[in-house]
């Protein structure tokens, strides 16, 4: 009886994790929608947050948001859709960092050790912070990971994606913030 209950709980936990790690059907955006400037363009006040980097140093979102184009990416080493989009973000960062775009990733439900090992192995050479539920709530990013938010240099939110995206979709969003 105990084994069956444990198995059922483990299955439910795995299902919950998978449902919270992936695309949200209401917020899917493709290149055609980006070109038509659809409802995914959002102009809201930026919530501020502070978070620790992998060495424990605290950083404020105001270091980047409102000063330069910035992409905030919530992700986790444990999240298959997050891992799937990372090569796309690496390529785009290589293309856009010289144009002043910064990526700030916030790893959630993770440890600094796992994040450090993963980011080094995958050439994620941008700002890496540790996220928590308070930051997710402040940024209204509680619908799942990955969540990627694009801000222009003035701090205006231009796009928000919940779920993994491909290179072309991200490229359109990067272009919109420079």
pLDDT per residue over 157-175, tens digit each? 999 999 999 999 999 999 9
Q: What is the CATH number of the domain that holds 86?
A: 3.40.30.10
Q: Measured on CA atoms in the order 79, 57, 124, 97, is the torsion positive or negative?
A: positive
* Helix or strand (DSSP H, E) at 3: helix 2-19
Tell which residue, 118, 147, 178, has the closest CA to residue 22: 147
pLDDT of residue 24: 45
pLDDT of residue 142: 87
**Bigger pLDDT: 65 vs 31:** 65
Provide the mean pLDDT of the chain. Answer: 83
Instruction: Compute, in degrees rounded to 10, the torsion defined by CA atoms 149, 152, 156, 160.
Output: -20
Q: What is the mean pLDDT of residues 91-95?
A: 98
Structural domains counted in the chain = 1
Structural domain boundaries, residue 115? 2-177
pLDDT per residue over 104-152, tens digit each? 999 999 999 999 999 999 999 999 999 999 999 999 888 889 999 999 9
Instruction: Check whether 16 has a pLDDT greater than 80.
Output: no
Give me 129's structure tokens.
Answer: 């912070």
176: cis peptide before it, omega within 30°? no
Give me 135's structure tokens.
Answer: 């930051």
pTM over cut 0.85: no
Q: How many whole angstroms separate alpha carbon 77 and alpha carbon 90? A: 15
Q: Give the CA radius of gyration of the chain.
A: 17
């Amino acid at each position: 009886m105990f084994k069956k209950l444990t198995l059922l709980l483990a299955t439910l936990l795995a299902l919950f994790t998978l449902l919270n790690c992936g695309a949200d059907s209401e917020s899917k955006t493709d290149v055609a929608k980006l070109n038509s400037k659809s409802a995914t363009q959002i102009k809201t006040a930026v919530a501020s947050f502070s978070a620790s980097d992998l060495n424990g140093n605290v950083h404020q979102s105001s270091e980047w948001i409102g000063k330069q184009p910035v992409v905030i990416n919530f992700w986790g080493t444990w999240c298959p859709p997050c891992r799937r989009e990372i090569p796309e973000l690496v390529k785009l960062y290589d293309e856009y960092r010289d144009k002043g775009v910064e990526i700030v990733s916030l790893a959630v439900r993770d440890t600094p050790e796992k994040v450090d090992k993963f980011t080094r192995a995958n050439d994620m050479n941008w700002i890496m912070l540790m996220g928590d539920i308070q930051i997710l709530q402040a940024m209204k990013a509680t619908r799942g990971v990955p969540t990627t938010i694009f801000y222009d240099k003035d701090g205006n939110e231009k796009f928000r994606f919940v779920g993994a995206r491909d290179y072309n979709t991200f490229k359109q969003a990067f272009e919109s913030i420079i």
